[in-house]
Amino acid sequence: MKPNFSLLPTFFLMILLLASPAIGFSDWVEYGRSDHGDIYLYHSGSMKQKTKDIVHVWVKIVFSAEGRKDYMIKLRNSGESTEGYEKLSHSLSLVEIDRTRPRFRILYGSEYDTEDKELFRGSREAPWKEILPNTTQEILKKQVCK
């Protein structure tokens, strides 16, 4: 009997997907909530020290009904499409944090609806943004850069 090698790629794909911070459920740590009730989480297993001063971490925002409405208003105001966003569930972002200065930037982002359908995906070299006091970004930096 010949071995069935056609299952090997499927097996390795499953292992890769299960190890991905965007897919797995464990290791997500809540670090804040918005006034709207949105939940902010980071994936502790995804933290990577890129240089002495730079850390990368995956961040997930789970939107509340009110947060979803507010986000749709922001999209409309910036001239972007809101098609499908009435079912917005969560976003995933790869965030770069500077350990030595109060700044961060988003390197990659994606947004999903309640059926896990991708609504948006984008990747770019984003400009650095200042981390302001008493914000979720400040809390994230304190937890990730312990």
Q: What angle do CA 125, 27, 122 make, to 5 degrees?
A: 25
| Model confidence at 72: pLDDT above 60 | yes
| Model confidence at 94: pLDDT above 80 | yes
Cα-based distances in Å from 90 to 4, 67, 72: 39, 10, 13
Q: Tell me the pLDDT tens digit for each residue of 39-48.
A: 999 999 999 9
CATH of domain 27-144: 2.40.128.710
List all residues 6 or more positions away from 89 whose beta carbon is below 8 Å from its beta carbon. Answer: 62, 63, 112, 113, 114, 116
pTM for the predicted model, two decimal places: 0.80
CA distance linking residue 58 with residue 9, whole number of Å: 26
